[in-house]
Amino acid sequence: MASHRRPKQPSRARVTVLTTAAAAAVAISSQAAQAAPSEKPTKDEVKAKVDKLYEEAEAATEKYNGAKEKQEKLQKEISTIQDNVARGQEEVNELREGLGSMASAQYRSGGIDPSVQLFLSADPDDYLDKASTLDQLSSQQVDALEKIQDKQRVLAQDRAEASEKLGDLSATRDELGKKKDEVKSKLAEAQKLLNSLTAAEKAALQQEEQRASRDSADRVQLGDAPAGSGRTMSAYAAAQSVIGSPYVYGASGPSSFDCSGLTSWAYAQAGMQIPRTSQAQASFGTRIYSQSDLKVGDLVIFYGDLHHVGFYAGNGQVLHSPRTGAVVRYESINNMPFQFGVRI
């Protein structure tokens, strides 16, 4: 006879173990899904990230340029002060020798004047106050002592100024190194992103860049925009002469440029020195806030921190050195956040 016994039910402990195992399996599966690598970014997404890094690199480049310009200025000032100190010390030495000659003559004639002896044996800073009670001083000696005192005061001031500027120079060199490292870091990060693209995607981006440069030269028409002054147009013509030159951070010509390197180089060709950085150039002339009031050759400043500059080319176009990977070219003024123009 067949057995009619009811199948044995799993114990409560066994159910608990099975439930726990199932939950663990679900959790592991969920974690594995979360840990799965995200989809590879598209060419356009990579380009957007790279463009952002290039913009950040350019902002750092302008700060680098400012630190470099300050360093060069300080070095010139320190060199001038040190030359002045050297010449001043020579003059003091000559005056001391002259005073020593007086003392020698006095010694040969019967003894050294107490006032001269005092000067030769001690710091003369407070000498004249003490010497005012000494009748032995000749007018020639008084003149010599006053000249020495004046020279020593000037030398002390020059040395203090040189010391202060040397401190500024050291700090500026530190800042320069940090900004250079920041630029290199941004560019390296951008290059890493570009290296993640396939050969076909890289070729497509390169073709887009070349087409942008080629088309910009073909389509630019000055339209009805009035021309700037003679010197301004000479600078603008100089910038036009280097269309196609590559952007290189920190470069100011004649074969490669960053944005402010192009504008400062162009004005130098026109016989005028303007500041090196875009921020300094933004404050150099008269600001023009309406695009409709711009003249051909006016400088145009972009971004809130004023880290980009170019020339207004008319018809809503700018002539500039855009960024790493690009060349000096025309571009729409609306491709970047316009702040104002500067008329020099």
Residue 69 lies in a domain: yes
Whether 14 has a pLDDT exceeding 70, the answer reads: no
233 catalytic? Reply is no
Q: What is the pLDDT confidence band of residue 223, given thresholds at 50, 70 and 90?
A: low
Closest to 216 measured CA to CA, from 332, 93, 122, 113: 332
Residue 131 lies in a domain: yes
Domain co-membership, 52 together with 183: yes
Domain co-membership, 186 together with 142: yes
Domain co-membership, 185 together with 238: no
Handedness of CA 61, 63, 64, 66 (dihedral sign): positive
Whether 133 has a pLDDT exceeding 70, the answer reads: no
Residue 330 lies in a domain: yes
**Which of these is catalytic: 70, 179, 307, 320?**
320
Domain co-membership, 229 together with 314: yes
Residue-wise pLDDT tens digits, 45-79: 888 998 899 889 999 999 999 898 889 889 999 99
Residue 256 lies in a domain: yes
User: Domain total for the chain?
Assistant: 2
259 catalytic? Reply is yes
Residue 15 lies in a domain: no
Residue 308: domain span: 225-343
Closest to 247 measured CA to CA, from 83, 60, 67, 54: 54
Domain co-membership, 126 together with 260: no
Q: What is the pLDDT confidence band of residue 120, given thresholds at 50, 70 and 90?
A: low
Phi-psi map region of 315: left, alpha, beta (phi>0 left; psi -120 to 50 alpha): left
Task: Work out the mean pLDDT of the chain and round it to a whole number.
Answer: 80
The tokens describing 3, both together, are: 């057995």
Q: What is the pTM of this model?
A: 0.65
Residue 81 lies in a domain: yes
Could you give the CA distance from residue 48 to residue 43 in angstroms, rounded to a whole number? 9
Domain co-membership, 62 together with 189: yes
Closest to 272 measured CA to CA, from 313, 298, 310, 234: 234
CB-CB contact of 332 with 339 (8 Å): no
Average pLDDT over residues 34-42: 62
Q: What is the pLDDT confidence band of residue 287, given thresholds at 50, 70 and 90?
A: very high
Instruction: Report residue 203: phi and psi, to 5°.
Output: -65, -40
Q: Please state, as a whole number, how many other Cβ atoms lie within 10 Å of the Cβ of residue 112.
A: 17
CB-CB contact of 333 with 300 (8 Å): yes
Domain co-membership, 57 together with 189: yes
Instruction: Tell me what pLDDT residue 18 has.
Output: 41
Domain co-membership, 84 together with 125: yes
Domain co-membership, 158 together with 244: no
Q: What is the pLDDT confidence band of residue 125, given thresholds at 50, 70 and 90?
A: low
**Which of these is catalytic: 308, 323, 329, 343?**
308
Could you give the CA distance from residue 53 to residue 323 in angstroms, rounded to a whole number? 10
**Which of these is catalytic: 57, 197, 259, 309?**
259
Instruction: Tell me what pLDDT residue 36 has.
Output: 46
307 catalytic? Reply is no
Instruction: Output the domain CATH number for residue 298.
Output: 3.90.1720.10
Looking at per-residue pLDDT, the higher value among 317 and 143 belongs to 317
Domain co-membership, 152 together with 235: no
Q: Please state, as a whole number, how many other Cβ atoms lie within 10 Å of the Cβ of residue 332.
A: 13
Residue 33 lies in a domain: no
Closest to 194 measured CA to CA, from 310, 46, 315, 309: 46
Could you give the CA distance from residue 61 to residue 69 in angstroms, rounded to a whole number? 12
Whether 211 has a pLDDT exceeding 80, the answer reads: no
Could you give the CA distance from residue 159 to residue 208 in angstroms, rounded to a whole number? 58
Domain co-membership, 63 together with 183: yes
Residue-wise pLDDT tens digits, 252-276: 999 999 999 999 999 999 999 999 9
Boundary residue ending a domain (180, 195, 210): 195
Residue 31 lies in a domain: no
Coil, strand or helix: which one is 325?
coil
Boundary residue ending a domain (178, 195, 212): 195
Could you give the CA distance from residue 307 to residue 280 in angstroms, rounded to a whole number? 10
Boundary residue ending a domain (179, 195, 211): 195
Residue type for position 37: P
Domain co-membership, 120 together with 229: no
